[in-house]
Amino acid sequence: MDTNSLAVRPLFYLRVGVAVLSFSGFWVCLARVESPAAVSLKEPGGSRMDPVSPAAAGAPVPEGLPDPAEGERPELEPVVMIDPGHGGLDGGTVGNGLLEKDWTLKIGLALAAELRARGHQVVLTREADDTLPLMDRPAVVNAAPRLALLSIHFNAGTADASGVETWYSWPKKPEIMARLHDAAGVPVAGVLPDDGQRLALAIQAAVQTGTGARDRGIKNREDLAMTSRTLCPAVLIECGFLSNTTESRRIQEVGYRKKMVQGIANGYESWLKNRWTVPAVPVVVAPPSVASGADAEH
């Protein structure tokens, strides 16, 4: 037997074996790329672990995003925003020992609970005694789709001044009007419906009916930041006069505040059923007047 042949034969078999293994490995890899579902994950102990979503695995999922396994991200659903006026370093008005920021928060939280109990989605600009600068509030409102803004306040004046009143702004600030016209597809020189006025009318009527307070009506003011700089229909509700002795006592009564909250909620729901979703009954928009002075809160 040729000794050279004996020496070469093992090397030949080794080369053939490597070639077979390489060829088999190519098809295994190709199958894994084309069929990723066939690849199973392994736990450290070696048992099979089915693929899971990040949420089920305990991985953090950004707030507002659903589990990818549940489907595509839905569009944001508009909500009603409640703005308890003032707060923190801004105490608001004072009357008969009452500080406005404390009572706007009480009404705001109670209103949020009432509307949620009725099935509405609600967000608030503040839920504690926080400082939120006036000009930051409209930006918070405009950061997402809103059905409406309800800004809660209390009044002060002469000792005999009393009652509830609701404010709105129309037209709004020119830059806001431009965005509203663009969204509605209406030329700037055209007309847009004023849903803020309708919201003010509905809430004012329901609050006055529910509380029996003096009806001071609705009022239009172009320099109110919360109503003139927000894209959604917005109202500022003056829930009474802290400076009035009788009214300040009523405001401290849980039963009276419940009537106030229910009135606001009833008015909001009444408006919601009849709101303009399209410019069906246009209102002629007068050219914006030149604002004098800074934005006001109330």
Question: Mean pLDDT in runs of 10 for the chain (298 residues)?
Answer: 48 49 40 33 30 32 38 61 98 97 98 98 98 96 96 96 98 96 89 94 98 98 96 98 98 98 98 74 39 56
The residue ranges of every structural domain in the chain are 79-274
CATH 3.40.1130.10 fits 79-274, yes or no: no
DSSP symbol at 36: G
Degrees to nearest 5, angle at CA 93 with 88 and 94: 100
What is the model's pTM?
0.71
Q: How far apart are CA 88 and CA 99, in angstroms?
A: 11
CB count, 10 Å around CB of 96?
17
